[in-house]
Amino acid sequence: EPEVTQTPSHQVTQMGQEVILHCVPISNHLYFYWYRQILGQKVEFLVSFYNNEISEKSEIFDDQFSVERPDGSNFTLKIRSTKLEDSAMYFCASTPRQPSSYNSPLHFGNGTRLTVT
Amino acid sequence: DQQVKQNSPSLSVQEGRISILNCDYTNSMFDYFLWYKKYPAEGPTFLISISSIKDKNEDGRFTVFLNKSAKHLSLHIVPSQPGDSAVYFCAAIYGGATNKLIFGTGTLLAVQP
């Protein structure tokens, strides 16, 4: 079964540094997402991306965050200047149609654990 | 933002018995609901969903029940198996143009052999 692939599995960075998290969504999917889960907390929506632009973002997704689909297969999340509170598991997800469509659940990758020291 | 709540952080069940995981929500505008299962070091995996116009959906050992008047849904797993041991997340989504899933905090299910 096709999978969403995320790299690296674990990223350690120093506060203030830029990080880029990589994702390869499922190839025929059109909608792409980033979610995050701070340790012990719930999974939170960050951003959705469709047709080469952000379609929705949460209040967490401030100017320090950006997303890009640089080619036909990759989908990246960049954090420009990391803070301690950015430490979390970041999940990429994709779906072939809008997830509000009944039979279009999100397919998640295995996540990148980001540790900011 | 506690629109979706899972009040039981953990649940322990004997193999072969029924597991019942509960979820409450506050927003009556949610259009449908999903359950995801998550193993350690993996991403959430879709399990089963239910539209707000239904009150039950069944898929093999998994059944989701929706009580709209109580704003409550539950996931029943029967019979429970040790491989079902995982964190279960309830999630909800509005209809229309939004793409945002709203997750509960999860319930850790342990199925004892």
**Residue B40 forms contact with A (CB below 8 Å):** no
State residue B1's pLDDT score: 57
Per DSSP bridges, beta strands A88-95 and A107-108 are: antiparallel
B45: exposed, middle or buried (Cβ count in 10 Å: 0-12, 13-18, 19+): middle
Exposure letters B53-77 (e unless 16+ CB within 10 A, then b): eeeebeeeebbbbbeeeebebbbbb
For A26-48, write each residue's pLDDT tens digit.
998 999 999 999 998 899 999 99
Residue with tokens 């309830």, as numbered in its chain: B90
For B57-98, write each residue's pLDDT tens digit.
999 999 999 999 999 999 999 999 999 999 999 999 887 667
Give A5's DSSP letter: E
Kindly tell me if the per-residue pLDDT of A54 is higher than 90: yes
- Chain B residue nearest residue A48, CA to CA: B99
For A64-91, write each residue's pLDDT tens digit.
999 999 887 899 999 999 999 999 999 9
The alpha-carbon gap from A19 to the nearest alpha carbon of chain B, in Å, equals: 20
Residues 82-101 of B with CB under 8 A from A: 89, 91, 93-101
**Residue B23 forms contact with A (CB below 8 Å):** no
CB contact under 8 A, B51 and A48: no
pLDDT band at A92 (very low <50, low <70, confident <90, very high): very high
The one-letter amino acid code at A14 reads: Q
Kindly tell me if the per-residue pLDDT of B11 is higher than 70: yes
Give B33's DSSP letter: E
The alpha-carbon gap from B33 to the nearest alpha carbon of chain A, in Å, equals: 9
